Structure 1
Amino acid sequence: MDLVQDLQKKIFSVSPPTFSALALEVFRYQVEHNILYKRFLQALDINPADITTLEKIPFLPVELFKTHKILTGTMFTDFYFESSGTTDQQKSKHYISDLALYEESIKKCFELFYGDIKDYCFLALLPSYFERKNASLIYMCDKLMKWSAHKNNGFYLNNFYKLTAILKENIRNNQKTILIGVSFALLDFAEKYNMNLNEIIIMETGGMKGRRTELTREELHRELKRSFNTDTIHSEYGMTELLSQAYSKDNGK
């Protein structure tokens, strides 16, 4: 087993007691094999040998994903995920040399919070993402749908009528269901269809994308809970520059 495979195996089997040591091991690997990161530390006059605790590991500024092709090691790739933004904004590009690593991260992160993927039906309201190429959120949802293999899985965009019918069917059948959507799309749906979705996991991914007035998370969740007669709103957290996700099951907490 080579060093990269060994690190990947450790990452996906990490536990709280081993996390700090593994983070330092990954840091040392990045210093040695990522030229841009090494130059970044040199510019800051940081000696890698002085980094002995998790808290001291320097983070590469996220802005560099907008100006540099960041890759570790010698693997070449033209595939990348691109951040959202308006047409006149410079967007981040995260080049991925091993999609299997990202897919394993998707699976492990989801199952850590929610259990077996095959138990769920995934309904997505992600119009601003679906209309773009190279969106990591679309890739993630597409993979979850394929692994789940439920007949009603799908990206429903603005087809609220069909989405409503599927939600009612899943509720009748006691089917575990996740309705995941960007904030403005969930609000649009809520305004047109006030439904009792107390048995559905409603998961927001944040962002109005210029379509609506920005709301705080508390305001967004309050409106969604009122419209869908549910006690909790779940949240998915991720970003183009990372290959991991986090979830909240209780109103952002």
Structure 2
Amino acid sequence: MTQKELIASIQQFIQNEHSHDFNELALQLFRYQFEHNLPFQRFSKQKRKTPRNVKSWRDIPSVPIQAFKDVPLSCISTEQAEATFMTSGTTKQIKGKHYHPTLTVFDSSMITNFKKRFMKEQKAIKMGILFPDHEEMPNSSLARYLFLAKEFLGTSESKYLLSGNGINFELLLEELKISQQSGEAYALLGASFSFVHLIDYLQEKKLYFKLPKGSRILDTGGYKNQSRHVETEEFYSALKTHLGVEKSDCINMYGMTELSTQFYDDGNEDSPSVKSGPHWIRTRVINPLTGLDVPFGKNGVLVHYDLANFNSALSILTEDLGVETDKGFHLLGRVQGSEQKGCSLAVDEFLRYAKEKS
């Protein structure tokens, strides 16, 4: 199957939520990546997993997320990529790189999922973006994600409220007042650490708003040492107190640079919230030392199988701890202890084989 044919099949699958051939398409994608992604091919051969003997998506070898920092995981020459998204970190840290030959699939995955999980029945909403413009951060998958939200599902009055100089509080307060007075629903979207800075400002100034019905908030998880850490209950309680948005309308998105699809919860009235993804991504909860699924309801490490990851690796072993539920999974934080050891061993194993003859 050519790249063009594969992209067309994935696009068609994304648009048809009643598709039942996830396994078939996953196996086609595995064959494509096995043929064209040489580090992944070498690793798969050492694991004795080839297109001849892999019959289920669950048996496709998982690439440890840290490998994106050490190996160019791409089915094309990296110079041919339309976009290269890079993981966050300090300038001294090695950043993981995710190469996209085209953004067609990433964009389709984001917009289709966002419409259903965040917009729901609403066709457009006025947005305030608490994150820099994608032109300021061309290597940020989150910047691209928020640009797509604003461009395709935000009203024409939607604005960026943050730049390299930080949050424009004067403009933000004006936008909140306009929404409160007009009765027009308003959405604030951004990284969690941006909301912490906003909360601190509103608390310091003793400012309180009551945003209209239909207003909502999207935060995108994690603080990445760019703000103080805030416990989940305190975080959403503060947003309700100072912005008047119910916890049930505060949506958390869980995603990562190494994936092309995002997970959402249905609000944060209860903690921890249940995360789930669309029909083109599947998740297992495993013991990283054995690679086997842990019993239902037990803690383990999350492995995601993302059909939208057509150019890099279909299956990603994360360093996130989670527990399976009836409707998705609880995200419990970063791995520690034996799980952390298992993930480290998985990285060592992958690099030992993937770098051979390279």
TM-score (norm 1): 0.86
Q: Contact between 1:118 and 1:147, CA under 8 Å: does it hold in 2?
A: no
2:220 to 205, 211, 222: 205
Superposition deviation, residue 26 in structure 1: 2.1
Could you say which residue in structure 1 is the equivalent of 2:18? Answer: 15
What does residue range 1-253 of structure 1 map to in structure 2 within 5 Å? 3-12=5-14, 13-15=16-18, 17-73=20-76, 76-77=80-81, 79-113=83-117, 114-115=119-120, 118-126=123-131, 132-148=137-153, 150-157=155-162, 158-193=167-202, 194-197=208-211, 199=213, 200-232=215-247, 233-251=250-268, 252-253=273-274
**Amino acid across the alignment from 2:158:** N
Superposition deviation, residue 119 in structure 1: 1.2
CA distance in 2, matches of 1:30, 1:210: 35
* CA pair 186-129 structure 1, distance change in 2 beyond 3 A: farther
* CA pair 185-73 structure 1, distance change in 2 beyond 3 A: closer
**Amino acid across the alignment from 2:142:** L
Q: Contact between 2:130 and 2:194, CA under 8 Å: does it hold in 1?
A: yes
* Higher helix proportion: 1
User: Secondary structure of 1:95's match?
Assistant: strand
Alignment identity in percent? 27
Superposed CA offset, 1:196-228 (max 9, x none): 236321111122232333234344223333333
RCO higher in 1 or 2 (8 Å CA, sep ≥ 6)?
2
Superposition deviation, residue 93 in structure 1: 0.9
CA distance in 2, matches of 1:235, 1:149: 18
Superposition deviation, residue 73 in structure 1: 4.7
Superposition deviation, residue 128 in structure 1: 11
Superposition deviation, residue 71 in structure 1: 1.6
CA distance in 2, matches of 1:7, 1:111: 21
**Amino acid across the alignment from 1:9:** Q
* CA pair 14-37 structure 1, distance change in 2 beyond 3 A: farther
* CA pair 69-223 structure 1, distance change in 2 beyond 3 A: same
Moved more, 26-35 or 212-221: 212-221
Superposed CA offset, 1:134-173 (max 9, x none): 1111112112222246232122011122112212323444
CA distance in 1, matches of 2:8, 2:82: 25
* CA pair 8-130 structure 1, distance change in 2 beyond 3 A: same
Superposition deviation, residue 117 in structure 1: 7.3
**Amino acid across the alignment from 1:201:** R
CA distance in 2, matches of 1:178, 1:11: 29
Q: Contact between 1:118 and 1:148, CA under 8 Å: does it hold in 2?
A: yes
The CA RMSD measured in Å over matched residues stands at 2.8
Q: Contact between 2:110 and 2:261, CA under 8 Å: does it hold in 1?
A: yes
* Higher strand proportion: 2
